[in-house]
Chain A
């Protein structure tokens, strides 16, 4: 690789969406309203923003406790797909249009028709892409039931992809069947995959003997998820080499580059924002750039999936 001390080229083309650098927020983290999306762009410097997962109608979500930090680092959450419904999409997307930053609308539903309904609204609102949340682990009847089933993944992804002109991204969660599920999503028309969502998990308070989350089950995110997410990305890339957006426990330049080496082209950050605020995105970007310079990597594109080629 060439020695290059100037800024490395971080630009990427994500299924036709041009991104100035690989870092965006992960769905569900400060992303449920126009005001919060504006903060992700202005204070966080995201190259694209991903909305909270949106269902056709408003959803109230679970009662607190819905989010707890774990003693081992990382979080467990059971927000429960609380969202204002598809009516919010236009005002959120218009913030991205105003500021010149692509908006990816995360879509959830309890049936293929609901995924389609929200996806159509996103396209009409001029979103740059939709991300199908096929992997929410803590809301009965939504997401995970589809994302763990290769045929359901294919059906929903296919239904949305055949109608939309904008790119469809399928967001998958941890599964031993990930390669098969990823293959079905791509076969059905997904242009990229986001890997990974949280892992279904729970915590019990030993002083009272009770599960802490009102919902009992939640999703594990943050650093404990990172090696699992790296494994999932590595497995999928080695079999299918698709366009991947990596998510799971990215907290600094190194944990981001690890995902790129495993096969991701872009990165989403969630839990680190809870710890350090939206400015963490700028901090990680800065560290990432410095790391590339130190490693003499001049072009990000060269090192996507690097670990598979050495």
Chain B
């Protein structure tokens, strides 16, 4: 029996463990990955000129601090069930059952896919898979690839692949069908990309400058005159008027078929072309990984700007279920710095609310830090994140809970 058990050793879980352990709680973290750090491990962004956000190093720093504070870390261990008993939680894992007074779920996010013909062929992978392969495993996913899906994550990762000298054919739209909708329509994709213009240091502004922000008419004009060879970001052509209609190969990826689109998104017959590639990355966005929440009485609520269904929780990371806390991307899709700051809040909050630690101003300071990180985030996944948070934290009770 430990005081606090944390599921997930990403930035949220690790940061929480440090706060709780340094306030004398006994803390165990469980994670199924091979290395502590979660999705932080793959991240490598140039935040300002020559200033890099190096996820491996950030993860290493957090892990060391956790160790110094006596946090116990169990890796390569999957949690498949949690259950609240009378006064404690049981966490069922591939390495046995663990008991704790308090439980923090920090399982992060999962990638969404864009199904299309041929996407089960070996060589087709999620964009995050390619990121982990290069930056964590130090292996190239292939010689030459193509990226399907235009969003903040695929742009950021394309650059990481380029740093490893991997050849990229370009960014293309998915085929337009019932499940791809907005991500397959040139105008809505362009519109969405414009909201990313705060990514300015990430070069996107160059394109943003060419396509005046927020003006529908200008955007339509831009689409009509969009260059056929695409507009490059970090040497990779962005195509908003070309879609991949199928991925081809007998036993693994050999080529993709792409087709030109009119400005309204309809296909131009006869424009099909086969491009030879040996790997394909699909980038359909991120969603909170809430499967463990589904085993508890905690309610989930759909908030689009947070990436989908999130567990109902307070700003101090408490939930309505006694001794159950959440932190990080499970509460909404944001950058690792926000997740880490939320972890700090959760760690302190657990000490106060489950272990009667005196409530000094540490909690309020930590919550303020989350707001600050959110406001200053270089990589934002949705333009209306703040609105989503406000909805959750201040108008609680008025929203319809799932």
Q: Please say whether chains A and B are actual partners in one complex.
A: no
Q: Which residues of A contact B (CB under 8 A)?
A: none
Q: Which residues of B contact A (CB under 8 A)?
A: none
